[in-house]
Amino acid sequence: MTTDLGESWTMDSREMKNIDNKQDVKPWEQLLSMYPGLVVPIQESWKDPLSIRKIYMITPTKTRAEQIADLTRLAQTLYLIPNLFWIIVEDESQRTGRLHRLLQSFNLPFIHLNIATPDYLKPTKNQSTWRRPRGMHQKNIALQWVRENTSTNEDALVYFADDDNTYHWKLFQEIRKIQLVGVWPVGLVGELLYERPICLNGKVYSWFHYIYRKRKFPTDMAGFAIHLGLVHKHSNYLFNVSANSVGEQESNILGTMTSMNQLECLANNASKIYVWHTKTQSMFLTTTEKLRNAGMKYDLISEL
């Protein structure tokens, strides 16, 4: 995406006919006049001096009926965020054309990678998804790509973002403040309305959390970001992909790359919630066999 906001957008003929071309009104300016609520996030995000610091955002994703909807919602938040590079890692043995076409349609800077999660690590039919570590192979491939395609001296940040979470645009402003590792609250997680670090003068001295009480760093993956330099410094670090690693992934990476007294409390001393661990409910879909018996035939995944 270019830094000239006016040239980053196009309009169809129905919109263009209402514009006097002699006045050289840019599409982005026209958009702001139509939707004045965008003015504040656009101005704050794009004029923030810290926006010079790039964010590498890592998002694992897998084929499911809700995938397109989730990624579309997320992409529309990312339009408000300057200087962000999206690393999408698909849980498939091959990259799917349907996903790649979708990502291209967003016109956001991205790289599309893939690796399949082994069957033995997938939850069984009657097993809750949280009982298996999800997205770990995908995160590891993304870390490998980052190490191979960025400079050890680059002043940038790395953030892990699930495709079905909900993100406020102000979160990315907070991420750009990080010197080494920053932390903040996450809403709707851990059987609570929120989990959060309890901070004093910008430092963590305790945590508000309920489940997995023995975690060293009791936070969700959405609740921290790290400086790119740490990813290069700890070049051998990979997420544990074993089945018994549920609930420990955040503590493992933070315990490797930082310590409690080095954590930086962000989001107004961890008092503001800018990310929510929302989960898209899986749709009940009529089986293809029932549809065939009703004289109907379609492939939902390939048609979306």
| Host domain of residue 260 | 35-266
Domain annotation covers residue 242: yes
Asked if residue 278 belongs to a domain, the reply is no
pLDDT of residue 248: 87
Name which of 250, 85, 65, 77 is nearest 157 in CA terms. Answer: 85
Per-chain mean pLDDT for the chain? 86
Q: Is residue 71 part of a domain?
A: yes
Q: What percent of the chain has a predicted confidence (pLDDT) above 90? A: 64
Whether residue 112 is contained in a domain is answered as yes
C-alpha dihedral, 284 to 288 to 294 to 296, nearest 10°: 100
CB 272 within 8 A of CB 185: yes
Instruction: Give me the mean pLDDT over the 250-265 stretch.
Output: 96
pLDDT at 8: 32
- Yes or no: say if 278 and 205 are a contact pair by the CB < 8 Å rule: no
The backbone region for 18, taken as left when phi is positive above 0, alpha when psi lies in -120 to 50, beta otherwise, is alpha
Amino acid at 203: K
Tally of structural domains, the chain: 1
Q: What is the mean pLDDT of residues 37-56?
A: 91
In a domain, 260, yes or no: yes
Helices (H), the chain: 13-16, 27-34, 39-47, 67-78, 97-106, 136-149, 170-175, 228-233, 249-257, 267-270, 288-293, 300-303
264 catalytic? Reply is no
CA–CA dist 65, 88 (Å, integer): 17
pLDDT, residue 24, reads 59
In a domain, residue 246? The reply is: yes
| From 90, 195, 248, 250, the catalytic residue | 250
Binding residues for Mn(2+): 164
Domain for residue 159, yes or no? Answer: yes
Has residue 271 been placed in a domain? no
Say yes or no to pLDDT of 1 above 70.
Answer: no
Residue 210 belongs to domain with CATH number:
3.90.550.10
Quote the percentage of the chain above a pLDDT of 70: 83
Q: Exposed/middle/buried for 43, CB within 10 Å: 0-12, 13-18, 19+?
A: exposed
Which segments are annotated as binding site?
A: 164
Q: Over the stretch 70-118, which tens digit does the pLDDT of each residue have?
A: 999 999 999 999 999 999 999 999 999 999 999 999 999 999 999 999 8
Q: How far is CA 95 from CA 62, 106, 111, 195, in A?
A: 10, 17, 11, 35
